[in-house]
Structure 1
Amino acid sequence: MASNQASNNTQQESKFTLSMNHDMEQQQICLDHQQVEEKEFDYSKRSQWLRAAVLGANDGLVSTASLMMGIGAVKKDIKVMILTGFAGLVAGACSMAIGEFVSVYSQLDIEVAQMKRDNKRSNKIKGNNEDEKNVLPNPAQAAAASALAFSVGAIVPLLAASFIRDYKVRIGAVVAAVTIALMVFGWLGAVLGKAPAIKSSARVLFGGWLAMAITYGLTKLIGSSGL
């Protein structure tokens, strides 16, 4: 009898141990799935502000540098070149801010209208509505962020050309500074977005070089033709 009881106790302990191990494995699997979902969610949410920031800074960098290269093709005066770049910075930042404000405000109107339709169908309580309002897009913040990102990019060629009197050295300094900034922006966007860094940097760099070359070449051609 004693041996039978001991055997039964051993079997029960084995079953209990197996059950505990199974529960722990299930909990670990659920935890792993939850961590994966959280990581994927973070990247998808991150891409929204990352896209706006990288595009804004890249636009400011390329457009301002191209303007300065274009005016530098026909005017060697440093003052003219700096004023052109500064005008491009101000105009571009205002344009980015206004465009982003209008775009996000339109998105806000659409989301608010959709929330009202959903509330009518489901009769949600007031507390849930307040929670949803907290996550709605903010047009003013989006406009300020776009203007700031554009200005950060645009200031790079301005600083590179501000203290160099020699024309050829100034043009070379602008190209070098823009090249480094393009590589940094491309690499930063790739790292934060978990994309291939080399391809992203090369793509951004090639686009910036192409924009500056086209602007410089066409302005030089038109300026030399006497139009």
Structure 2
Amino acid sequence: MASNPTSLNQAKHVLPNNDLEQQATTPLEIETEDFDYSKRSQWLRAAVLGANDGLVSTASLMMGVGAVKQDIKAMILSGFAGLVAGACSMAIGEFVSVYSQLEIEVAQIKREKERGSDGGREHHDPEEKESLPNPLQAAAASALAFSVGAIVPLLAASFIKGYKVRVAVVLAAVSFALVVFGWLGAVLGKAPVLRSVLRVLIGGWLAMCITFGLTKLIGSSAL
């Protein structure tokens, strides 16, 4: 009879510990399992597309110019011009687009408040303000992402004077960067990795080949 109270006391001490462990681990597990990766879609799209656009467009421009002018100065200048023009274009385009989205969301919030039960009085919710898109932030992020992508072919071609070796190095560097961007986008967005990498890689190759071929054709003609 003396052993039963002891076992009951042990059980009383054990059970709360198990409950505490479950309470400590359950929120983390729920947060990990229920994380909505679609929330990353907006900034992930801007970052990946911006970097990929900078990489492909600058490399294609350099390859196109290199098809008719094989000196390193022409390729570097064309690539640098493409970087600056593309970054400015991305920033302006993203600013205009996100600012339009901001105006639409603000107008919708005002309409919802006017239809509310508070008689049209406006309440400023800090969380509501934080959820609104930021045009300047989006513009800066797009310009930076484009520049990061565009710098890859520029660096690859900057120190190689031989034309054929330069083109080969640019192709290798751009291909590697395309694989990295495709893999990064797939991992962050929890998408199929191989499909994403192949899509980005083949698309970049096609853009460079088409630009090189058409520029070579026009440059070799009498036009």
Unaligned runs of 5+ in 2: 1-15
Alignment match, 1:169? 165
Alignment match, 1:67? 61
Q: Is the 8 A contact 2:114 2:121 kept in 1?
A: no
Find out whether 1:159 has 2:177 as its counterpart: no
CA distance in structure 2 between the aligned counterparts of 1:73 and 1:35, rounded to whole angstroms:
51
CA distance in structure 1 between the aligned counterparts of 2:47 and 2:76, rounded to whole angstroms:
25
CA distance in structure 2 between the aligned counterparts of 1:34 and 1:194, rounded to whole angstroms:
16
Q: What is the Cα deviation at residue 226 of structure 1?
A: 2.2
Amino acid at match of 1:170: R
Amino acid at match of 2:147: S
Q: 1:149-180 CA deviation, whole Å, 9 max, x = no partner? A: 00000000000000000011011111010000
Q: What is the Cα deviation at residue 196 of structure 1?
A: 1.1
CA separation of 1:35/1:216 partners in 2, compared to 1, >3 Å: closer, same or farther? closer
Find out whether 1:149 has 2:145 as its counterpart: yes
CA separation of 1:198/1:141 partners in 2, compared to 1, >3 Å: closer, same or farther? same
Q: TM-score, normalised by structure 1?
A: 0.83
Find out whether 1:193 has 2:206 as its counterpart: no
CA distance in structure 1 between the aligned counterparts of 2:93 and 2:155, rounded to whole angstroms:
26
CA distance in structure 2 between the aligned counterparts of 1:45 and 1:134, rounded to whole angstroms:
14
Alignment match, 2:132? 136
CA distance in structure 2 between the aligned counterparts of 1:35 and 1:74, rounded to whole angstroms:
54
Structure-to-structure mapping, 1:1-227, within 5 angstroms: 36-37=33-34, 39-40=35-36, 43-122=37-116, 123=118, 127-227=123-223
CA distance in structure 1 between the aligned counterparts of 2:163 and 2:32, rounded to whole angstroms:
56
Q: Percent identity?
A: 74
Q: What is the Cα deviation at residue 36 of structure 1?
A: 3.7
Q: What is the Cα deviation at residue 127 of structure 1?
A: 4.9
CA distance in structure 2 between the aligned counterparts of 1:203 and 1:35, rounded to whole angstroms:
29
| Higher Cα Rg, which structure | 1
SS in 1 for 2:222: coil
Amino acid at match of 1:166: G
CA separation of 1:208/1:141 partners in 2, compared to 1, >3 Å: closer, same or farther? same
SS in 2 for 1:76: coil
CA separation of 1:60/1:35 partners in 2, compared to 1, >3 Å: closer, same or farther? closer
Amino acid at match of 1:65: A
CA distance in structure 2 between the aligned counterparts of 1:168 and 1:161, rounded to whole angstroms:
11
Q: What is the Cα deviation at residue 199 of structure 1?
A: 1.1
What stretches of structure 1 move > 4 A for 4+ residues in a row? 30-35, 124-128
SS in 1 for 2:161: coil
SS in 2 for 1:69: helix
Alignment match, 2:10? none
SS in 2 for 1:164: coil
CA distance in structure 1 between the aligned counterparts of 2:67 and 2:218, rounded to whole angstroms:
10
Amino acid at match of 2:58: T
Q: What is the Cα deviation at residue 61 of structure 1?
A: 0.2
Q: TM-score, normalised by structure 2?
A: 0.84
Amino acid at match of 1:188: L
Q: Is the 8 A contact 2:113 2:122 kept in 1?
A: no
Q: 1:44-65 CA deviation, whole Å, 9 max, x = no partner? A: 2112111110000000000000
Unaligned runs of 5+ in 1: 1-19
Amino acid at match of 1:211: A
Tell me how many residue pairs correspond in the alignment.
211
